[in-house]
Amino acid sequence: MTSQDADVALPAETEVALERATAAHRHQHLFSQRSANIKQSAVRDVFDVSMRPGLVSLAGGNPYLQSLPLEKIAGMAQRLIAEHGMAALQYGGGQGTEELRRAICDVMEHEGITGADPANVVITAGSQSAQDVAAKVFCNPGDVVLCEDPTYVGALNTFEAYEVQVEPVAMDEHGLIPSELQRRIEELQGEGRGIKFLYTIPSFNNPSGITLAAERRQHVVDICRKAGILVLEDNPYGLLRFDGQPLRPLRADNPDDVIYLGSFSKILAPGLRIGWALLPDHLQRSFYLANEAVTLCPPTLNQMLITTYLAEHDWLGQINTYRQLYAERCAAMLAALKEYMPDGASWTEPEGGFFVWVTLPEGVDTYPLLYDAIDAGVVFIPGAAFSPSDKPSNQLRLAFSAVPEEAIREGVRRLAPVLGKAMAGAGS
């Protein structure tokens, strides 16, 4: 570059920079109030880092897809496009295809939801989109949504984008505590606040791995029903119970009071982005129209691919493969925690799903430890990400779903001294 080039280039660059700064300033007043509530999630923060070679990621709750029948699914996609491309690549109905909605009712029967009407199923762009639509249909700014604490970070982001107040309800190792739910509702309604729904992941909660005990389930719904509150039941992991039969979802015995969210992301493939909501009869139309206003219709090819997979593959057998695989990985993680964790740390023992929740003594903040852990070659998600409060958290989430057993063991071995040092520093 000659000096003449530089002379010309610099002012132009400056001009561009100035123009950008001016535009940013000019548009500052255009943002909606809600946009200030839309934050980067801590889970996303560590996504890029997790990819570093040599690092053991216990952060992401990705399903383990290696055991899928890829050749078979590839053949289905090939056939669908070659033989039914006119339908597969075209617009479809806003509610999703009837074939898939009928197949989804069969899937739900395996969890104990019988007699669901395909007309009450709305197919969504993953479960996340169903959470967004639920907030759209029910929540005004300032309304309250109740949730478990900890709860799914993506749902928190979605609800907060609607300027909703997310209020946690205390839980123990058997899930939400009904008396606490009752107390919290009375308290909030006593203050005149409008509670719209309880958002709950009753089976193998993300992030805690905790399952709402069978004997509490009806009680939780009854409390909400009496208080005039809906239940938004998010159940992506329900079929991934390690042993025995799936627990009856809250929806099974309460068709009029529970909006049930299901997903193919954990039992098949998250990259297809297909979830669904099963609505009470009287809420179906509002939900369906709101969903249509967001995405027009779900992707037709993806719906047909899943319908074909469910019809032609032993999908329950595939789920059984997953159940055994995740059970083994969970066992490996629990064994490693037992072997390596410093005294004073405790953790949940999940009956299914993807996650173990580790609790350190009070006073230890797990967020800054993330960077020490990365230096030690392991990644986790700090507990603060999963709570509607902004307080520091002494807890953290470990995912065992995506990593082989030896890596899980190595990851926990690397993590233990980082936590131990912090606990010693905090005087525990």
Which residues in the 119-148 window bind a copy of itself by CB under 8 A? Answer: 125-126, 128-129, 132, 136-140, 143
User: Which 294-353 residues touch a copy of itself, going by CB under 8 A?
Assistant: 294-302
Binding residue for a copy of itself, selected from 45, 50, 62, 335, defined by CB under 8 A: 62
User: Which 232-271 residues touch a copy of itself, going by CB under 8 A?
Assistant: 256-257, 265, 268-271
Give the shortest CB-70-to-a copy of itself separation in angstroms. Answer: 4
Binding residue for a copy of itself, selected from 8, 9, 10, 70, defined by CB under 8 A: 70
Binding residue for a copy of itself, selected from 15, 39, 187, 314, defined by CB under 8 A: 39
**Site size for a copy of itself (CB under 8 A):** 95
Give the shortest CB-397-to-a copy of itself separation in angstroms. Answer: 16
Here's the x/- map for a copy of itself, 152-171, by CB under 8 A: it reads as --x--xx--x----------
User: Which 187-226 residues touch a copy of itself, going by CB under 8 A?
Assistant: 196-197, 225
Q: Which range, of 2-10, 68-76, 348-356, 375-383, touches a copy of itself by CB under 8 A? A: 68-76
Give the shortest CB-274-to-a copy of itself separation in angstroms. Answer: 8
Q: Which range, of 71-79, 209-217, 351-359, 407-415, touches a copy of itself by CB under 8 A? A: 71-79
Q: Does 78 bind a copy of itself (CB under 8 A)?
A: yes
Residue placing its CB nearer to a copy of itself in the complex, 170 or 296: 296
Q: Does 118 bind a copy of itself (CB under 8 A)?
A: no
In this structure, which amino acid lies at residue 80?
Answer: L
Residue placing its CB nearer to a copy of itself in the complex, 284 or 394: 284
Residue placing its CB nearer to a copy of itself in the complex, 139 or 356: 139
Q: Does 93 bind a copy of itself (CB under 8 A)?
A: yes
